[in-house]
């Protein structure tokens, strides 16, 4: 089946409300995102109920704005409505999925529930009609995992985090350091001025053959380090870039090492990196160096597709719609949905 009609996609798994319209395979007609970053920064992290209320406020104006921006497409010309159904925050997912179902019913067109992780996994290859066999590193605030991607819809999980995701570790450590939310961006900024080898923070799960991740111990180590050093305010500010660089090296070093191991074990020479942490400058630089050395191909999504967005949801859905897949309107959200 060649699905060629425009796809309306909605993403509301966490704190971004997003709507996009995609003309398969890769012509983006519009992409709108309402961020709640400033709202949740007051709490130092995402509050599910607050996120849900703000999704409710944002989704209808975004939907209307998307139709207006994609002015050459009339609602009745849409081929399908798709939405993130999981994983994510249940109150947030319900808003987007319910709205999408209502639109699908009103227009009498197919509805498809999309896995948020799959949207990330395929995003480095946006616009491609065929997804190559590759190793995918998904690294974000909520997820850190290595997946063998045989093709769209065919995945094998190789390793994942046993506790905190990499982005979550960045944010929690940034909070310990008194940095603003989201902390990963601030640590990356300060780390560029620091020495990544000044403080040897621990790197977990580096024993041979292990492709899983663990970052909660790093957070604990940083807390004990700060208590032990008991810096004065002046000393802390002076050493902060080195602390950030060393924390970043502890996280990025593990990620790069696991990518190298997994690619060699599975004999894969194409690497796709997705999720918000894919924007981290040290991660990008070290992976580029690794892939140049190994002569592997390395793919990142555009920066606009690295964080949560509806474009990646539309793109992932396209590959399923082409196979004739769709869901009943009674399909429920799956907050713990796995790949």
- Angle 72-73-78 (CA atoms, 0-180°, nearest 5)? 165
Q: What pLDDT does residue 207 have?
A: 85
Q: What pLDDT does residue 1 have?
A: 57
In angstroms, rounded to a whole number, what is the distance separating the alpha carbons of residues 274 and 292?
19
- In this structure, how many other beta carbons lie within 10 angstroms of the beta carbon of residue 146? 24
45-54, 115-124, 262-271, range with the lowest pLDDT: 45-54
CATH topology of domain 7-126+305-321: Nucleotidyltransferase; domain 5 (3.30.420)
CATH topology of domain 134-300: Nucleotidyltransferase; domain 5 (3.30.420)
**pTM of the predicted protein model:** 0.93
In angstroms, rounded to a whole number, what is the distance separating the alpha carbons of residues 168 and 143?
8
DSSP letter assigned to residue 295: T
Q: How confident is the model at residue 151 (pLDDT cuts 50, 70, 90)?
A: very high
Tokens of 234: 């002046």
Segment 95-107 mean pLDDT: 97
What are 237-295's pLDDT values in tens digits?
999 999 999 999 999 999 999 999 999 999 999 999 999 999 999 999 999 999 999 99
Tokens of 18: 């997003």
Cis peptide bond N-terminal to 45, omega within 30: no
Segment 195-205 mean pLDDT: 94
Q: What pLDDT does residue 64 have?
A: 94
SS3 category, 292 = helix
pLDDT at 319 over 80: yes
Segment 54-74 mean pLDDT: 92
Q: Strand 16-23 and strand 7-11: pairing?
A: antiparallel
In angstroms, rounded to a whole number, what is the distance separating the alpha carbons of residues 40 and 28?
29
Q: How confident is the model at residue 210 (pLDDT cuts 50, 70, 90)?
A: very high
In angstroms, rounded to a whole number, what is the distance separating the alpha carbons of residues 206 and 223?
22
**DSSP string for residues in 122-169:** HGGGTT-SSPPSEEEEEESSS-EEEEEEEETTEEEEEEEBSS--HHHH
Q: What pLDDT does residue 30 have?
A: 96
Query: Residues spanned by CATH 3.30.420.40 within the chain?
Result: 7-126+305-321, 134-300
Q: How confident is the model at residue 38 (pLDDT cuts 50, 70, 90)?
A: confident
% of the chain exceeding 70 in pLDDT = 99
% of the chain exceeding 90 in pLDDT = 86
């Amino acid at each position: 089946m060649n699905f060629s009609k425009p796809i309306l996609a909605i993403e509301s798994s966490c704190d971004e409300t997003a709507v996009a319209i995609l003309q398969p395979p890769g012509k983006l007609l519009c992409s709108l995102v309402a961020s709640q970053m400033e709202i949740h920064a007051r709490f130092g992290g995402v509050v599910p109920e607050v996120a849900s209320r703000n999704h409710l406020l944002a989704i209808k104006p975004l939907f209307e704005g998307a139709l207006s921006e994609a002015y050459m497409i009339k609602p009745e010309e849409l081929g399908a409505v798709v939405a993130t159904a999981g994983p994510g925050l249940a109150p947030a997912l319900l808003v987007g999925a319910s709205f999408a179902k209502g639109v699908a019913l009103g227009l009498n067109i197919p509805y498809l529930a999309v896995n948020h992780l799959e949207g990330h996994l395929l995003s480095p290859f946006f616009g491609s009609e065929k997804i190559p066999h590759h190793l995918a590193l998904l690294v974000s605030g909520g997820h850190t995992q290595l997946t063998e991607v045989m093709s769209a819809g065919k995945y094998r999980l190789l390793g994942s985090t046993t506790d905190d995701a990499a982005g979550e570790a960045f944010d929690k450590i940034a909070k310990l350091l008194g940095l603003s939310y989201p902390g990963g961006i601030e640590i990356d900024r300060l780390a560029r001025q620091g020495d990544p080898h000044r403080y040897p923070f621990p790197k977990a799960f580096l024993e041979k053959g292990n492709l899983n991740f663990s970052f909660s111990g790093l957070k604990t180590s940083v807390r004990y380090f700060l208590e032990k050093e008991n810096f004065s305010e002046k000393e802390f500010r002076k050493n902060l870039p080195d602390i950030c660089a060393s924390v970043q090296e502890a996280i990025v070093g593990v990620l790069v090492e696991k990518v190298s191991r997994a690619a060699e074990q599975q004999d894969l020479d194409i690497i796709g990196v997705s999720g918000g942490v894919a924007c981290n400058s040290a991660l990008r630089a070290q992976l580029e160096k690794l892939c140049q050395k190994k002569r592997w191909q390395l793919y990142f999504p555009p920066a606009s597709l690295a964080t949560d967005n509806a474009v990646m949801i539309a793109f992932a859905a396209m590959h399923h719609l082409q196979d004739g897949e769709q869901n009943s309107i009674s399909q429920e959200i799956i907050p713990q949905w796995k790949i």
